[in-house]
Amino acid sequence: MPDIIQLLPDSIANQIAAGEVVQRPASAVKELMENALDAKATIIKLFVKEAGKTLIQVIDNGSGMSDTDARMSLERHATSKIRTADDLFRLRTMGFRGEALASIAAVSQFEMKTRQAQSDLGTHILVAASEVKSQTPVACDKGTSVIVKNLFYNIPARRNFLKSNPVEMRHIIDEFQRLALAHPDIAFSLQHDDELIYEVSPSKLSQRVVALFGKSFQEQLAPCQEETTLVKITGYIGRPESARKTRGEQFIFVNHRYIRNNYLNHAVTNAFEGLLPEGNFPFYVLFIEIDPKHIDVNVHPTKTEIKFDDERAVYGVVWAAVKQALGAHNLAPAIDFKSDINLVGKLNQRLNKDQYIDEQFSTSLHRSNLQNWDKLFETPPSESKLFQKSDTEGTVLRFESALNSSEATDKNDVDLGIFQFQNRYIVRATKSGLMIIDQQAAHERVLFEKYLSRMKGTPGNSQQSLFPQTVSLSASDFALVMEVQHEIMSLGFRFEIFGKNTLLVNGIPAGVVASEKELFEGFLEQFKKNQSELQLPLRDNLALALARRASVKSGQKLIEEEVKSIVEGLFSCSKPNFSPDGRPTFFTFETSKIESYFTR
C-alpha cells in the first residue's frame, strides 16, 4: 500500500496560516501597523480602498530592512524577536511569530519597499500568492512601505465571506483606534478612498482620546492610577452620566497590547456598581504594565487574548484603581457637593416634601375611594361584568378592539372597562376577568410591527424640522449609518451629510415626539446594543431599535386616548402576546381566581 502522508507545499501551508492570522482586511491592517511599531516608527500612514478589499498600504519611517532581511521576512516563522523558548516570556514587541507577512503575501498581490537609514538604496519585492516575482534595488524613503492588493483574490470562497464595505471599514477603524490609543506618542493617519478619516499628532493620552472620539469626551475623562509590586494601572475612565448603551469605547491594554478579557472588564463595571443605569456601559481606556514573565500572549493567533499567572490579583488592582478614581474625582452622581454643603438641611427638606406628598396622596386616595365606592354600587354586583363567569369553561379567549366589540355600545361602559394603573400598566375588563397590560412592552410591539411594515412596503412619513440639528458621530458610527442609510430613511428619518462624520437631521418619523438629535443618537445606540445582544435580521433590528426609543415608558402618565390606542393597536398586531424581544405584553387575572379570595 503506497504512503499517503506528505508535506504540504509552502504556498498551501501559508494559505492555511492566513486563515488564522488574516481573517479580513482589518487583520492585515493590524499586522502591518504592528510591524511598523516594532520598527520604531514615529509616523505611520494607512491608506485603504474599498474597505481594504482592493488596497491596503502602510507607510512608516521606521528602521527599515536590508535586502536579505526583506526577503527573509516573507518566510514562515522568520522573526527577529525570538531566539529561544524563554524569549516568549520576555516579549515587549507586538509581533513575534513571523507569520504575518508570509500569511498576507499568500492571499494577495503583495509589494514591499524598504530602506535602512545607512543605505543609499532600498529593496523592492513583488509577491503573488506566496511566489516571489521579483526583488530589485530601488530609490525610496527611509522606512518601509507595504502594499496589499486584492486580498483573497486567489481564494474566492474566502473573499465571498467578507461583509459589505461599511462593515469591513468599521473593523479597520477599530484596529486603527486601538493602536493609536496604545501609542499616543506616535503620529497616525488613516485615509479611505481619498477621504482623510483620521490624522492625529503625538500628544498626551487624554488629547489622543479626544482626537479619536470627539470633543464630547473632553469633559468626561477622569485619570485612573494605581501601582503595586505586581502591576501598574494608568489611564482614564468616563463619568457615569456619560455611559452608553453599548460597550463600544472600552479598552484594556497590557504592556501596550490591546486585549479582550471579560474578567477584567467585569472588574471595571463592578467598580461602577450603583452608579450606572441598568444596561449602560462606561467609557474607559486602561493600561496595565506587568512583567512579561507573569503573562502568556502566545495563546491566540491574533494575540488579543492573554493569560495571567495570577488573574485574581490583577482583577483586584483594576477594581481598586477604578473605585479610587471614582471617589477621588467625585464622579458618583448621587450627591452634588458643589450645590449645597448643608446635607442635613437638604435631607430635612426632602423629608418635609415626602410628608407633604404622602398627605396629598392620602387625601386624594380617600376622595378617589369614595367615588369608586359610589360607582361600585351604581351597578348591582350580579350585573357587573367583573363578577360574571364565562359561559363555557376552557373557551379560547379572543381579543377584540373596544371599537369592534358589540358590548361597547355604551360609551360610559367602555370608559369604566379600561384604565391606567400606577403609570405602568393598563387594566382592562374582559369576559373572563381582568387583563393587565404592560404599557411599554405593548407599545413596543405595536410600533415594531408598524416600523417593520414600513421597511417592507411604503416608506414611512416624516415630520420635517423647522430647525434641523447636527449629529456628530465617531468614524465607525458614521460608517454604520452609511451602511444602513436606505433602511433608516424608510423608517421616516431624513438626514444629509454635513461635513466629516457629521449628519444634518432635518426629519424624524411622523408621530414621534422627540428632539431630532436625541432621537437619532438614541436610536443608533439602541441599534448597536441590539447587534451585540440579539441575533436579529437587519430590518427587525432597526424596527426594534426605533420602537424602543419611541415607545411610551414604564412610569409615564397616559391620557385616555393613548391608553385606548395602545390596547386597540396591540390586539391588531400579528403577535400581540409578546414584545419584540419576547417579554409578555399582558396577563389575564381570571374571574374564578378573583372569586376565590372572597369565598368562604
Please tell me whether residues 240 and 154 are part of one structural domain: no
CA 593 – CA 371 distance, rounded (Å): 26
User: pLDDT-derived band of residue 472, with 50, 70 and 90 as boundaries?
Assistant: confident
pLDDT mean over 390-401: 42
Please tell me whether residues 84 and 222 are part of one structural domain: no
pLDDT mean over 490-506: 89
CA 509 – CA 448 distance, rounded (Å): 13
Find the CATH number of the domain harbouring 192.
3.30.565.10
Asked whether 143 and 112 are in contact (CB, 8 A), the reply is no
pLDDT mean over 337-355: 40
* Residue 102 falls inside a structural domain: yes
Q: Can you give the pLDDT at residue 14?
A: 61
User: pLDDT-derived band of residue 303, with 50, 70 and 90 as boundaries?
Assistant: low
Q: Which residue has the higher pLDDT, 242 or 40?
A: 40
Flag whether pLDDT at 522 surpasses 60: yes
Write down the residue that cell numbers 456601559 correspond to. 281
Q: Can you give the pLDDT at residue 13?
A: 64
User: Could you give the number of structural domains in the chain?
Assistant: 3
Please tell me whether residues 174 and 252 are part of one structural domain: no
Alpha-helix residue ranges (DSSP H) falling in 534-576: 538-550, 560-570
Produce one character per residue of 302-333: b if its CB has 16 or more CB atoms within 10 Å, e if not: ebeebebeeeeebbebbbebbbebbeeeebee
Crossing angle, helix 205-213 and helix 165-182, to 10 degrees?
170
* Residue 439 falls inside a structural domain: yes
* Residue 598 falls inside a structural domain: yes
Produce one character per residue of 52-77: b if its CB has 16 or more CB atoms within 10 Å, e if not: bbebbbbbbbbbbbebeebbebbebe
User: pLDDT-derived band of residue 454, with 50, 70 and 90 as boundaries?
Assistant: confident
CA 358 – CA 352 distance, rounded (Å): 10
Please tell me whether residues 185 and 257 are part of one structural domain: no
Find the CATH number of the domain harbouring 285.
3.30.230.10
CA 37 – CA 43 distance, rounded (Å): 9
The sign of the torsion formed by the CA atoms of 160, 164, 169, 175 equals negative
**Residues in CB range of 137: below 8 A, 6 or more apart:** 67, 121, 122, 123, 124
User: pLDDT-derived band of residue 547, with 50, 70 and 90 as boundaries?
Assistant: very high
Please tell me whether residues 156 and 246 are part of one structural domain: no
* Residue 546 falls inside a structural domain: yes
* Residue 503 falls inside a structural domain: yes
pLDDT mean over 312-316: 92
Tally of residues, the chain: 600
Alpha-helix residue ranges (DSSP H) falling in 339-402: 343-376
Give the H or E element holding residue 71.
helix 67-72
Please tell me whether residues 172 and 220 are part of one structural domain: no
pLDDT per position as a tens digit, 2-51: 777 766 666 666 666 555 678 899 999 999 999 999 899 999 999 999 99
Q: Which residue has the higher pLDDT, 403 or 576?
A: 576
Quote the mean pLDDT of the chain: 80
Flag whether pLDDT at 152 surpasses 50: yes
* Residue 389 falls inside a structural domain: no
Write down the residue that cell numbers 501609542 correspond to. 183
DSSP class of 578: B
Angstrom CA distances, 231 to 271, 291, 325, stand at 18, 8, 17
The residue type found at 161 is: F
Please tell me whether residues 306 and 411 are part of one structural domain: no
Please tell me whether residues 298 and 427 are part of one structural domain: no
CA 518 – CA 229 distance, rounded (Å): 46
Name the phi and psi angles at 476, rounded to 5: -70, -40
Task: Select from 328, 357, 386 the last residue of a domain.
Answer: 328
Find the CATH number of the domain harbouring 599.
3.30.1540.20
Task: Select from 202, 232, 257 the last residue of a domain.
Answer: 202
Write down the residue that cell numbers 390586539 correspond to. 571
User: pLDDT-derived band of residue 73, with 50, 70 and 90 as boundaries?
Assistant: confident
Please tell me whether residues 196 and 229 are part of one structural domain: no
Angstrom CA distances, 15 to 129, 153, 256, stand at 8, 12, 29
Please tell me whether residues 414 and 307 are part of one structural domain: no
DSSP reduced 3-state for 18: helix
Flag whether pLDDT at 345 surpasses 50: no
* Residue 365 falls inside a structural domain: no
Task: Select from 171, 202, 233 the last residue of a domain.
Answer: 202
DSSP reduced 3-state for 256: coil
Write down the residue that cell numbers 481564494 correspond to. 155
* Residue 380 falls inside a structural domain: no
pLDDT mean over 391-413: 41
Q: Which residue has the higher pLDDT, 262 or 301?
A: 262
CA 10 – CA 131 distance, rounded (Å): 10
**Residues in CB range of 234: below 8 A, 6 or more apart:** 223, 224, 225, 286, 287, 289
Please tell me whether residues 157 and 217 are part of one structural domain: no
Please tell me whether residues 232 and 155 are part of one structural domain: no
Range of the domain at 63: 10-202
